[in-house]
């Protein structure tokens, strides 16, 4: 079993080198898939992940603090949006979605408080992950109208060979509707701790349960 695990890791490392990773590049809103980076922050790290738990790049990816070149899309509270990557996600791990309310989605740097609106963990028995090229999230129907950054985070778990990798981006969204609810949240970085079981877990060995890192999902 041990040697099988070692071989599995060796081949995973090779896949990394050969195929590269993935980038969140398209947003579908109001049923329309946008053009490249339309209504999304534009990252400058190609398809590389963020791995530093203390980095501000965890907010909206490397380069993603600047929203000046991106547009903002109006979406009704309760509607769904979809993030699509340049290729299907293939590193195993959870997907989480967060929102932060801001004065202007185009000028926000992500330093405000984030609340989680959805998480996708593995299914057991087996510990099978939902690996897709696109993931959708429904914006809470009760959330206050106004501008938000909506963030996708895929955490690619690479333990124990190398640290987990964050694949992230932020959409610029103006939520419309009559909702008035504001949720308390967490700061990013800081939302995932180096000691979180969902961050440290070895998914190849005795993998029977899992808690997605970060706060609990906020619901109406």
Ligand X SMILES: *[C@@H]1O[C@H](CO)[C@@H](O)[C@H](O)[C@H]1NC(C)=O
Q: Residue 50 in contact with residue 39, Cβ under 8 Å?
A: no
Closest approach, Cβ 37 to ligand X, in A, equals 34
Which residues are within 8 A (CB) of 11 and not within 5 positions of it... i.e. 6 or more apart?
none
Q: Does residue 201 interact with ligand X by CB under 6 A?
A: yes
Q: Taking the complex as a whole, how short is the minimal distance between the CB of residue 127 and ligand X, in angstroms? A: 10
- Number of residues this chain uses to bind ligand X (CB under 6 A): 6
What are the tokens at 65? 């603090």
Comparing CA positions, the residue from 64, 153, 72, 145 lying closest to residue 109 is: 64
**DSSP strand pairing (73-76 vs 80-85):** unpaired
Q: Which of 210, 213, 214, 218 binds ligand X (CB under 6 A)?
A: 210
State the nearest-atom distance from the C-beta of 158 to Cu ion, in Å. 8
The yes or no reply on residue 20 touching ligand X (CB under 6 A) is no
Binding range to ligand X, per CB under 6 A, among 64-72, 144-152, 170-178, 206-214: 206-214
Binding partner of 21, given ligand X, Cu ion, none, CB within 5-8 angstroms per partner class: Cu ion
What separation in angstroms does the CA of 200 have from each of 9, 24, 38, 41, 156?
16, 24, 34, 29, 11
Q: Give the residue at shortest CB distance from Cu ion.
A: 21
**Considering only residues 198, 213, 214, 218, which one is a binding residue for ligand X as defined by CB under 6 A?**
198
* Window 128-187: residues binding ligand X (CB under 6 A): none
Distance of alpha carbon 99 from alpha carbon 21, whole angstroms = 24
**Backbone phi, then psi, for 7, in 5-degree steps?**
-65, -40
Q: Could you tell me the smallest distance in angstroms from the CB atom of residue 17 to Cu ion?
A: 9
Report the partner that residue 22 touches, choosing among ligand X, Cu ion, none (CB closer than 5 to 8 A by kind). Answer: none
Cis check: omega of the bond before 160, within 30 degrees of 0 = yes
- Please name every residue paired with 181 in a beta bridge, in sequence order, or none if there are none: 143
Closest separation between CB of residue 123 and ligand X, Å? 14
Contact residues: ligand X, CB under 6 A: 197-198, 201, 209-211
């Amino acid at each position: 079993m041990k040697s099988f695990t070692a071989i599995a890791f060796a081949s995973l490392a090779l896949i990394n080198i050969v195929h590269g990773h993935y980038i969140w590049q398209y947003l579908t809103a109001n049923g329309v898939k946008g053009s490249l980076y339309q209504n999304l922050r534009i990252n400058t790290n190609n398809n590389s992940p963020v791995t530093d738990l203390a980095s501000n790049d965890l907010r909206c990816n490397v380069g993603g603090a600047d929203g000046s070149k991106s547009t903002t899309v109006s979406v009704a509270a309760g509607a769904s949006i979809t993030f699509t990557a340049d290729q299907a996600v293939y590193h195993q791990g959870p997907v989480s979605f967060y929102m932060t309310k801001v004065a202007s989605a185009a000028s926000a740097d992500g330093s405000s408080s984030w609340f989680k609106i959805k998480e996708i963990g593995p299914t057991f028995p087996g510990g099978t992950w939902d690996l897709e090229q696109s993931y959708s999230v429904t914006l809470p129907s009760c959330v206050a109208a106004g501008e938000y950054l909506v963030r996708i985070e895929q955490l690619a778990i690479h333990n124990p060979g190398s640290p987990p990798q964050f694949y992230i981006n932020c959409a610029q969204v103006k939520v419309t509707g009559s909702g008035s609810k504001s949720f308390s949240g967490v700061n990013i970085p800081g939302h995932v701790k180096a000691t979180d079981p969902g961050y440290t877990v070895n998914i190849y060995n005795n993998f029977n349960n899992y808690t997605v890192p970060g706060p609990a999902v906020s619901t109406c």
